[in-house]
Amino acid sequence: MSHAKLSASGSHRWLSCPPSALLEREFPDELSPYAAEGTFAHELAELRLSRAVANTCKPSAYTSKLNTLKENDWYSAEMGDHIDQYVTQISEIYLAAKKACKDALVLLEQRLDFSDWVPEGFGTGDVVIISDDAVEVIDLKYGKGVPVSAEENSQMRLYGLGALKTYGLLYDFTRIRMTIIQPRLDNISTEELSEDELLRWAREVVAPTAAQAIAGEGEFSSGEHCRFCKARFTCRARAERNLELAQYEFKNPALLIHAEIGDILTRTMELSRWASDIQNYALEKAERHGVKFPGWKLVEGRSVRKYTDEEAIAKTLMTKGYEEDAVMPRILLGITAMEKLLGKKAFAKLLLDYIEKPPGRPTLVPESDKRPEISSAQAAAVEFAEEEVPV
């Protein structure tokens, strides 16, 4: 059996739970439409940057390549706008670097080799900007599910190590900057480390943990890093940890105190993620593979009525004298669909005055969440405003 592969994108997981890398090899790759969309967005971004920032693509070749990309099913005006925003941000970062050092260099899609610390480890830096004393690696994240921060981000640090190893012989870097740009969430964040800090992390944390992970050694350890682990459905360590979390020791008096509720809220986050993973896994096994789980059976779920032919229905009703507008009201496209249709720029130009964003419904999140805290008076105002909305 050959050893485990240690990717930069999965590094948070194998650094937290070293034997997961070998265990994951028992499961097939999981295909996600978001990954295909992300890959396409990167292709578009690379082309746009090659013309607008790196100047490595001739105008005629650029136009023809861009036209081909625009034919792709993943392309939309909305994606074009997001990538434009990303390209503008990269231009600004590059211009700032050039201001500080006139010979600053921008490179696209660079192979970053960090195999000195992780066997066979390498990744691809979307953008690398090199100036006299600093190197900056920039990663485009096209997802919009959760904001991703560059701070203490092991994937970005591994890319930083790769940049240091690849260009450090030619340049005398003292600072390594690692930046994530997530245009769909207007999210940009940077971590800057000195060469010493980054190399210490590589030596003390990465290299010894990678050696364990590659051999399938070390302790299983579950946590939020289990989220994308291929073993997450049936992993015994995760199950045991969650069952432990569920056994809350209730203390006297009869009612819970606030500190206990805070503790339970923290436990339920991972617990409910795990419960939902188990439910999805069992349903898929029962439905597609006929697996019987003791005490459980497959039944038909709740279903709702639906029209089979909307045009025929309208025709039937109109011949009976019903008004067309009454039975087929015209409805404006929703905001997301409208923005996708018009593109971000046209949407903002034409419709900004007609859009309002009411405060979001109050939600409890862990203190580590980046959103600013609101007071209970503000929360009550939001609840009150919601109640006032006529139905």
Write out the residues near ligand SF4 by the rule CB under 6 A.
13, 17, 20, 23, 220-222, 225-226, 229, 231-232, 235, 237-238
Beta-strand pair 187-194/105-113: unpaired
Residue 143 CB-half CA count within 13 A: 12
Quote the least distance from Cβ 260 to ligand SF4, whole Å.
Answer: 26
In the bound state with ligand SF4, the residue whose beta carbon lies nearer, of 48 and 238, is 238
Strands laid side by side in the 187-194 sheet: 105-113, 122-130, 134-140, 175-182, 187-194
CB of 204 to ligand SF4, least distance (A): 22
Least Cβ distance, residue 293 to ligand SF4 (angstroms): 20
Nearest to ligand SF4 of 20, 166 (CB atom):
20
Task: Yes or no: say if 97 and 129 are a contact pair by the CB < 8 Å rule.
Answer: yes
Q: Read off the tokens for 338.
A: 């409208």
Pairing between strand 122-130 and 134-140?
antiparallel
**DSSP summary character for residue 206:** I
Smaller CB distance to ligand SF4: residue 177 or 225? Answer: 225
Q: How far is the CB of 212 from ligand SF4 (least distance, A)?
A: 13
Residue in the structure block whose two tokens are 């994606």: 79
Task: Give whichever of 23 and 45 is closer to ligand SF4, judged by the CB atom.
Answer: 23
Distance (Å, rounded) from C-alpha 226 to C-alpha 239? 11
Whichever of 91 and 234 has its CB closer to ligand SF4, that residue is 234
Distance CA 150, CA 138 (A): 10
CB of 230 to ligand SF4, least distance (A): 8
Nearest distance, CB of residue 278 and ligand SF4, angstroms: 12
What's the closest the beta carbon of residue 273 comes to ligand SF4, in angstroms? 11
Count of H helices and E strands in the chain? Answer: 15, 5
CB of 220 to ligand SF4, least distance (A): 5
**What's the CA gap between 124 and 42, in Å, rounded?**
11
Nearer CB in complex with ligand SF4: 20/179:
20
Residue 17 vs 45, nearer CB to ligand SF4: 17
Amino acid, res. 178? M
- Looking at 320-369, list the stretches that DSSP marks H as alpha helix, in order from N- to C-terminal side: 324-327, 335-342, 344-351
Cβ-based nearer residue to ligand SF4, 23 or 158: 23
Can you read off the two tokens belonging to residue 364?
């409890």
Is residue 138 within 8 A of residue 176, CB to CB? The reply is: no
